[in-house]
Chains A and B, each alone.
Chain A
Amino acid sequence: MTIARFSPFELLLLKSRHQADTAALLLLAWVLANRGPIGEPERSRLTELTGGFRHGHALAPILEIAATQDLGAIQLAAEVLQKEIHGEQASPFLRLAIALAVEDGKLSMANQHVLRFLADLLGVSPGEFAPLFEAVAGRAFADPDDPSRSGYWQAKEHRRRQREQESQRQDDRQHSRSHSGREGSHRRKEEESKWQQAGGREQHRQERYRQEQHRQHERGARQDPPPGDRTRRALAVLGLEPGASRSEIRHAYRRLAQAHHPDRFFNAGEAVMASASQRFQRIRRAYDYLMQVS
């Protein structure tokens, strides 16, 4: 029989005077590691924030473990925290995590997901977590961006270009200040360009609004097609030809409802059951409609 080795984090946890605090510390360090490289300022900030912790061991090994993103250690810490912290006790820890995540002004994409994970871990619902985030960070908890879409990159690069232009303009301004003679005309030009930009933005917004209205209009139009069409589609849902009799409809409905009833898929998993219940709803709606009409 061999004695299994203990990992560094397990040893730390065994040595700790307060296991929940050690676990919380590792998860906070994980948040830090997802923000960027951990340097001296981050380290001192973490020490400052966790002054009330009672773990009684050094911080350095924890930061090392977090920097390697050791999944086993993080899982163990999450389990310990889940066991020790529930209900009201969760919010002080989440406050710390949020404060660390938004320290340098912006919330990294990785941390958006990490914070969501921590909220779920401690059983804090989105309805409670969003106000908590707003109280600590001073802004709303937005949905995470999606870098798997081209739109994200276009917006990002557009923003960067604007920032570059702005900094260039500032350079220009400084330049013109040194040549005070040309200042007036320069400023006027600048203001003109600003106006143009604002005008362009306004136009863009109006255009989008128009498009949206147009879309809504289309959707509205789609909602009430001619009645004959709806009957035909409802019959198609039940697999019948136009002109089917009432008894035929009832017969088809019974057969399909039996085949697609969600209770039949109880063992096949949630996703299958959900899709079955959607199909069932469609069938029942079609049947209800046909019974009303005919």
Chain B
Amino acid sequence: MRDLYKRLGLDPRAGEVEITGAIERCEHTALRADARTVLEVGSRREEYDALHVTLSDIGRLRARLGLTHAPYWRDGPADDFSLPPDTHGSRHDELMQRLTRAALLHNRWQRLRGPWLAAALFALGIMLGMGLCRWLP
């Protein structure tokens, strides 16, 4: 499937006026005819948009998972919906990193809980005492 919005230089959320303008400006006759058939009729555009969203999602997923040159994508939707490879890295690795960090924090808390609690209690006691001395008489 072709990405008519991309080929017409439009945003997928563009209104009817913008679409009509872009179609009139387009110089490619076949593309103009197709865009007129698909985008200028409300029900057709809705159906087209639904598939457009799915394909964009799949294109993004494929870019992130390194599947942009897989056999089922190579010659077909790949022309219009492929994105440059994503360097965000794996979500799974990121999850593992976050888990490790959470575990580390938890461990540290377990280890330092005693001294920290004692220090906090001591400080609280001093503050209370100071407050009492200051304001009571």
Residues of A within 8 A of B (CB): 1, 3-4, 6, 10, 13-14, 34, 69, 71-72, 74-76, 78-80, 82-83, 109-110, 113-114, 116-117, 119-121, 125-126, 129, 143-144, 146-150, 153, 270
Contacts and interface: CB of A to CB of B under 8 A. Distances in A.
A76 B38 contact: no
Contacts of B38: 147-150, 153
Contact of B95 (A71, A76, A82): A76
Contacts, number: 98
B65 A116 contact: no
Nearest to A14: B99
Contacts of A126: 71-72
> 7 nearest interchain CB pairs?
A120-B70, A150-B37, A116-B72, A110-B54, A76-B91, A79-B92, A148-B2
B113 interface: no
B72 A149 contact: no
Interface in B48-72: 48, 50-51, 54-55, 57-58, 60-62, 64-65, 67, 69-72
9 contacts: A3-B102, A71-B60, A71-B61, A75-B61, A76-B95, A117-B62, A121-B65, A147-B1, A147-B48
A127 to B, nearest CB: 9
Contacts of A4: 98, 101
The interface residues of chain B, by DSSP majority, are classed as: helix
Category for how many chain B residues contact A: 35 or more
Contact of B73 (A10, A83, A116): A116
Contacts of A3: 98, 101-102, 105
Contacts of B69: 270
A153 B37 contact: yes
A13 B96 CA distance: 12
B92 A148 contact: no
Nearest to B62: A117
B47 interface: yes
B14 interface: no
Contacts of A109: 51
Interface in B11-67: 33-34, 37-38, 44, 47-48, 50-51, 54-55, 57-58, 60-62, 64-65, 67
